[in-house]
Amino acid sequence: MRFIAGVMLQQLLKPPAIMVDRIINNMEISNNSSSESTSSKPVFGLIVTHSDIGSELLKAAESIVGPLEHLAALSSKDVGFDSLCRQIQNAIHPDNDTVIMVDYFGGSAHIAARALRKLKTQQTIISGVNLPMLLSFITKREQLTYPKLVEVIRTDAIRGIR
């Protein structure tokens, strides 16, 4: 295997994984956190995407599993960065742990979601939102602890890509 500036060429050519940022009490931590959520409140889901991707994914999920609660979609379409940050902050339930699913790592939705570090709930930002990720979140959020839920929906999203 060839090395380029200390990095194996194979790693450079590997397709990007679905990225996970976890923010807990103002601190960003790795995906390997062992913290457990003991809250009996439901985990809130927020989809933030370019154009109407998020709302269409939400419609597709509702057509499969029926009406959904504690889940919303926002679009960055025709919205400035500050306005998008405010919309995200207003959409998040301040007392509920939240999984924020964005379409593109490093895009405006991802950056705006990361700007919310000051909130006092667990927040995890997962990029690469797709229907398998969303369905996994919907069907498993009441059965799993928060850290396990994040791990499982990330895995299910990757499994859905073939």
Task: State pLDDT tens for residues 106-160.
Answer: 999 999 999 886 666 688 999 999 999 999 999 999 999 999 999 999 999 999 9
What's the CA gap between 43 and 37, in Å, rounded? 10
Task: State pLDDT tens for residues 33-62.
Answer: 334 444 577 899 999 999 999 999 999 999
pLDDT band at 5 (very low <50, low <70, confident <90, very high): very low
Neighbouring C-alpha atoms within 13 Å toward the C-beta of 43: 28
Record: fold of 16-159: Rossmann fold (3.40.50)
Q: Given a cut of 80, is residue 20 above it in pLDDT? A: no
Where is pLDDT greater, at 29 or 64?
A: 64
> What is the reported pTM?
0.76
